[in-house]
Each structure stands twice: as C-alpha cells, then as structure tokens.
Amino acid sequence: MTLKRTLGIVLVFVLLLSLAACANNNTSDQTQTSTESATTAYAAGSATSATNTSSGKKAIVVYFSGSGNTKRVAELVANETDASLFEIVPKNPYTEDDLNWRDENSRVQKEHNDTSLQNIELNSTSVPDWESYDTVLFGYPLWWREAAWPVNNFVKGNDFSGKAVIPFCTSTSDGIGDSGSKLAQMAGTGTWQDGMRFPENDDESSIRDWAKSLNLK
Ligand SMILES: Cc1cc2nc3c(=O)[nH]c(=O)nc-3n(C[C@H](O)[C@H](O)[C@H](O)COP(=O)(O)O)c2cc1C
C-alpha cells in the first residue's frame, strides 16, 4: 500500500512535470515564431533603411565616368546620402587615348562627329531592385557641353516613373546647362530636377555639403 501510494505520487509528479515542460515548449515556440516574424519585418524595413535612414527615402547614385572625376563625386555623394551606387560601364571602355578630345582622330572626336557612333553598348542597364528607389542621383561628365553619351542607353533603357531624378555633372569649365533637361526628355519619365555641376577636382567638403543639402539621409 505504501509502495503503491509512493509510486502513485511519483507518477503524478512525473506527469505534472511533463505537462509543465510541454506548456513551456509551446510558449517558447510561440515566442520564437513571433521573434522570427518581428525579425523578418525588421529586416525588410532595414533593407530600405540600410541605404537611407530617417528621411524614409531610398536613393541610388547612377553614374558614368571616363577618367574618374565623376566617379569620385558619385562615391562621395553616395557616402554622404547613404545611397547605393551603380556605375554605367561601356562594354568597350574608354582609354585615355579614346578620351583625348584634342586629337581629331580619337574615339570621342569620331563619336562626336558622327552621332550614329554614339549608341554605346553597356555592360548592363539593369539595376538590382530598381523599383525600390524613389530618388536617383544621376552623374556624368560634360562632353561638348552635353551629358557624355555613354549614359544615353541607360536613360533610354530604364523607367524613371515615380522617381525624383537629380542630375549632377563634372566639367572643366562649363555649367550643367540644359544637359539634365535633355536627359529628362530622352527618358520621358521621372521628375527630373535642376542639377548641380562640380569642377573637375572640387573640394570634398563642397561635394559633401551639396549631398547633405538634399536631405536624403
Ligand atoms: C570628350 C570630352 C569632352 C569634354 N567637353 C567638355 C566641355 O564641353 N566643357 C567642359 O567644361 N569640360 C569638358 N570636358 C572635360 C570633362 O567634362 C571633365 O574633365 C570631367 O570632369 C571628366 O569627368 P570623368 O573623369 O568622370 O570622365 C570634356 C572632356 C572630354 C573627355
């Protein structure tokens, strides 16, 4: 009788213990699930804010650069605005000789003189996650007072609908002029704003100040 009773008590105890363990498991499963979904939600949100933060804007700097000046500006602007970067790269890149506009036999001179040669094939015109960006900072060097034509196929090949587009250029002496509005016409979509021109080797601080003034961060 005493043994039976003891066994009974032990059994009940074991039963109670396993019930408690089960209940605990369920709770932690639920906790795990809700933590997971919270993490997923956060991750999705932070993918946006990983590029841009409190402004709620998601920006990308798209640029072409022949000899590196625009690339430098593009990188500084992207850094200052927490934007992504996309470089427009011609399949057949321009060498230093190609870019020598003083030589009338250079590639740029030939392309300048015969616009049919300005249809420059690019490595890629498709930006990963393009739809997710609401702001495009669009950089190029001035060539004969126009946006360098290697950007044309990118502009024609992408839909800028719903995006604010902010052009910027680098040049030796000329201002941005109507180079940005000509690109806007070429694109046919997007809200293209007045752009900004930077001298070839502008101070880092002027570039950063301009980028800051856009309030994209
Ligand atoms: C083919 C060619 C044409 C250019 N035309 C102009 C021009 O019309 N006005 C100007 O101020 N600078 C002109 N430049 C100077 C470039 O705009 C300037 O060096 C620019 O910063 C180059 O940028 P990148 O290094 O990103 O290619 C020209 C340069 C090249 C190679």
188 CA to centre of ligand 1 in angstroms: 25
Measured by CA distance, the residue closest to atom 30 of ligand 1 is 143
Do 120 and 162 fall within a single domain? yes
At residue 19, what are phi and psi to the nearest 5 degrees? -65, -45
Domain count, the chain: 2
Do 120 and 169 fall within a single domain? yes
Do 79 and 119 fall within a single domain? yes
Do 112 and 130 fall within a single domain? yes
Q: How does strand 191-192 pair with strand 135-143?
A: unpaired
Q: Verify whether ligand 1 is closer than 6 Å to residue 65 (CB atom).
A: yes
Do 5 and 110 fall within a single domain? no
Do 24 and 124 fall within a single domain? no
When the pLDDT of each residue in the chain is averaged and rounded to a whole number, the result is: 83
Do 47 and 58 fall within a single domain? no
Question: How far is 183 from 156, CA to CA, in rounded Å?
Answer: 9
SS3 140: strand
83 CA to centre of ligand 1 in angstroms: 25
pLDDT digits (tens, 9 = 90+) for 130-172: 999 999 999 999 999 999 999 999 999 999 999 999 999 999 9
Choice from 171, 174, 197 to test ligand 1 binding pocket (greatest atom count within 8 A of CB)? 171
Choice from 102, 140, 144, 172 to test ligand 1 binding pocket (greatest atom count within 8 A of CB)? 172
pLDDT score of 217: 85
Q: How many helices (H) and strands (E) does the chain have?
A: 6, 7
- Domain span at 34: 1-51
Low-confidence ranges of the chain (pLDDT < 50): 1, 3, 7, 11, 13-50
Query: What number of CA atoms fall less than 13 Å from residue 26's CA on the CB side?
Result: 6
Do 99 and 35 fall within a single domain? no
Do 128 and 172 fall within a single domain? yes
Do 20 and 74 fall within a single domain? no
pLDDT score of 216: 93
Shortest-distance atom of ligand 1 to CA 63: 26
Do 10 and 58 fall within a single domain? no
CA-based max dimension of the chain? 114
pLDDT score of 16: 47
Shortest-distance atom of ligand 1 to CA 73: 26
